[in-house]
Amino acid sequence: MHIKDAVFLEDLCPKFRFRQWRKSIHRFTGKSCIYCGKPSESIDHVIPRSQGGLSTTENCVPACLSCNGDKSDENALYWYRRQKFYDPRRAMAIRAWLEGDLRLAIRLLQWANPNSKVKNKNYEKNRSEYKAA
Ligand SMILES: [Zn+2]
């Protein structure tokens, strides 16, 4: 009954659905920026909307505000190659993400940042540490 209600609510309120979708994108990377690994605060279009990029999961990646703002209207793969924090494993992950292979993308990201999995598990613990700092 509750599940039915939730579906109904989502259909009734696209904003709610959108918020859930955004959350799920951040969850894939453990809330870290796909480009630099810092905490993701926004959703970035790999292919900008101005170049016909769609707001689909394949084209939307978690990004920090700094990367998102710096990249602006550029194609992410070209922009990323010029960054100081460029990592070929992350570039491969972005490409895999764009192709809809999120599982491969996440594996590549974990390879690029082996601590991310641990961080993920201790997310609650880390959050309280942030508060204390
Ligand atoms: Zn970033």
Going from the Cα of 18 to the center of ligand 1, the distance in angstroms, rounded, reads: 22
Going from the Cα of 107 to the center of ligand 1, the distance in angstroms, rounded, reads: 18
Going from the Cα of 67 to the center of ligand 1, the distance in angstroms, rounded, reads: 4
Going from the Cα of 61 to the center of ligand 1, the distance in angstroms, rounded, reads: 11
pLDDT digit string (tens) for 16-32?
888 999 999 999 999 99
Distance CA 30, CA 38 (A): 10
Q: How confident is the model at residue 113 (pLDDT cuts 50, 70, 90)?
A: confident
Going from the Cα of 32 to the center of ligand 1, the distance in angstroms, rounded, reads: 8
Q: For residue 9, what are the contacts with CB-CB under 8 A and spacing of at least 6?
A: 16
DSSP string, 22-82: HHHHHHHTTSB-TTT-SBP-EEEESS-GGGT--SSGGGEEEE-HHHHHHHTTS-HHHHHHT
At residue 114, the pLDDT reads 74
Residue 122 has pLDDT above 80, yes or no: no
Going from the Cα of 65 to the center of ligand 1, the distance in angstroms, rounded, reads: 7
Contact 9, 16 (CB under 8 A): yes
DSSP state of 83: S
Going from the Cα of 16 to the center of ligand 1, the distance in angstroms, rounded, reads: 26
